[in-house]
Structure 1
């Protein structure tokens, strides 16, 4: 599947500037702060209307924390978040209602995301009632049925409970609930990772169709680059709380620059079992976010590390139109050409 490029807009729908989230570690009898978990440490990106930006990386890299920070599920340590030009990270709680209507979320586990005591009709009706989206019972029922149509579930299923559905059907209900208030942006936090391969493909196709129909923006958080390739317009690769590479889908999969990105791509399965692939095996474990390495945070596992990497943090620099990479190798004239992961 080839995603058409998104037309450039004067103002992005979502802007995230230098976002940081450090979680304090408390210990001792007095509960004093003994350190911090550097979950996210200076992340910047934007999302245009109708665009999918995928945030990828290994477990623990901070990608889900970014999504929760945008949703205002906790306060930021530093940074700014703008929705349609309006700053929302410091918005008072009493004024958050309008933002909640425009930014919705689909979590990884659809069963734990749904109230097991509510029928689907009530689950979908709740956001419609909360945001004043329906006028009377007849209008409410019509809107609930329309949501079932959008996610391709039978209308008569509204009187069933969540446990009566399969995992893929439950995720469709979660998507319908996210659509109910008329959201502009949906954050999908590992939304298909718990599903079987065939069901995963169906949900991805559904999300692409809904995006094309409704003009939705998606922040798709995943560790699965094979899934991301068929869904996204752009990809941001995270490692230990930082974005190390950001590019459009075609550029990243064909001409990635950062060694970490190339290692991830080298592990993606290919349809042809006879095809040759230069697999890049990373040694060692991911460092602790409590005490991240100095310099480049990837230097402890990078097969191309040199002295500068250990002392100086690389900054994201432009490698081409819309393609950014944070690696000192990109700044070395005539430097070493990394092996292609494809």
Structure 2
């Protein structure tokens, strides 16, 4: 079996809050606290969860926009989290990013042509001006924009068109993996669907892998292969799209899915309203981090942190309920505790 394109092992991102005795930090924000997953070549893995759960921080750590506090990031069999900037530079071509805001991610002072040419020139992917022009024209064709738009400025485009330019810029480096950090959340519904379809088409055409960071499970269901559900810096559940959407094995996933609008207005689904707020990542709860809001929590949840364990092939969840027999597991029986 070939190695995955991306492996993340026990990734940690702890941000110091303030200096303690002799200037040492005495409190930390545990934004990401021991995450492990993989992304295969040509696969879409969606990282989902509420705002503040740490999913965007994971993306930035993989891109090395942030240096991880601990753990490993392995790209194509090569560890990159501890590389120097100079050693990392040629590998940056393989992982690119599409950000949430399509306007602020583009330099308003340079034309589209220069924005797209920059990664091509930086990584020396064109031998001469003619080859550069061919690549730029091909990029515009791929993202569905007219070639004449290369001479225009970012402010002359709509939000959806700017996001297409952002995707073209990511493609310009000829990457293996694109991190889509809430790439469609700032767009109108109709435009959102167009961008999702564009990403799906590009993935099929180019064999790209996508790490799709989102809070929108309706979009995720449409485009992903696997889903990793995050809560307060950790993965609560990970599995295939079918496994997660048809038979969730964590109460947090169950609650998230209950809030997804159904296309059939007559379809009934009981909305699970979680009590309380997400705890602070500065002082996460002992035991299971979700137990303060979980409708099924029992004494073990308050004292023992559940490990991510396989509940069926390719499907893992971190919940003590899965140690019970099926008839005593409310996630499987449908009975609320």
TM-score, length-normalised on structure 1?
A: 0.95
C-alpha distance in structure 2 between counterparts of 1:318 and 1:121, whole Å: 48
Shift of 1:26: 1.3
Answering whether residue 172 of structure 2 is matched by residue 210 of structure 1, we say: no
Runs of 5+ consecutive residues of structure 2 not aligned to the other structure: none
Q: Equivalent of 1:336, from 316, 322, 329? A: 329
Answering whether residue 170 of structure 2 is matched by residue 170 of structure 1, we say: no
Answering whether residue 92 of structure 2 is matched by residue 100 of structure 1, we say: yes
The Cα offsets for residues 6-55 of structure 1, whole Å up to 9 and x where unpaired, read as: xxx52100000000110000158986523000000000000000000000
Match in the other structure for 1:227: 219
C-alpha distance in structure 2 between counterparts of 1:32 and 1:102, whole Å: 36
C-alpha distance in structure 2 between counterparts of 1:136 and 1:30, whole Å: 56
Answering whether residue 260 of structure 2 is matched by residue 276 of structure 1, we say: no
Match in the other structure for 1:139: 131
Answering whether residue 310 of structure 2 is matched by residue 318 of structure 1, we say: yes
C-alpha distance in structure 2 between counterparts of 1:105 and 1:276, whole Å: 38
C-alpha distance in structure 2 between counterparts of 1:67 and 1:155, whole Å: 31
Match in the other structure for 1:117: 109
C-alpha distance in structure 1 between counterparts of 2:148 and 2:214, whole Å: 33
Any idea what SS the aligned residue of 2:133 has? helix
> 1:262–1:340: 8 Å Cα contact kept in structure 2?
no
Any idea what SS the aligned residue of 1:169 has? helix
> 1:12–1:84: 8 Å Cα contact kept in structure 2?
yes
The Cα offsets for residues 262-308 of structure 1, whole Å up to 9 and x where unpaired, read as: 00000000011121101111000000000000000000000000000
Shift of 1:336: 3.0
Q: How many residues align?
A: 333
Any idea what SS the aligned residue of 1:26 has? strand
C-alpha distance in structure 2 between counterparts of 1:85 and 1:178, whole Å: 22
Which region of structure 1 is more displaced relative to structure 2, 284-293 or 139-148? 139-148
C-alpha distance in structure 2 between counterparts of 1:192 and 1:340, whole Å: 33
Q: What is the Cα-based RMSD across aligned positions, in Å?
A: 1.4
Answering whether residue 185 of structure 2 is matched by residue 193 of structure 1, we say: yes
Superposed, which structure 2 residues align to 1:251-290 within 5 Å? 251-290=243-282
Any idea what SS the aligned residue of 2:13 has? strand
Runs of 5+ consecutive residues of structure 1 not aligned to the other structure: 1-8
C-alpha distance in structure 2 between counterparts of 1:51 and 1:32, whole Å: 42
Structure 1 stretches of 4+ with a deviation exceeding 6 A read: none
The Cα offsets for residues 232-274 of structure 1, whole Å up to 9 and x where unpaired, read as: 0000000000000001001110011100000000000001112
Match in the other structure for 2:143: 151
TM-score, length-normalised on structure 2?
A: 0.96
Match in the other structure for 1:84: 76
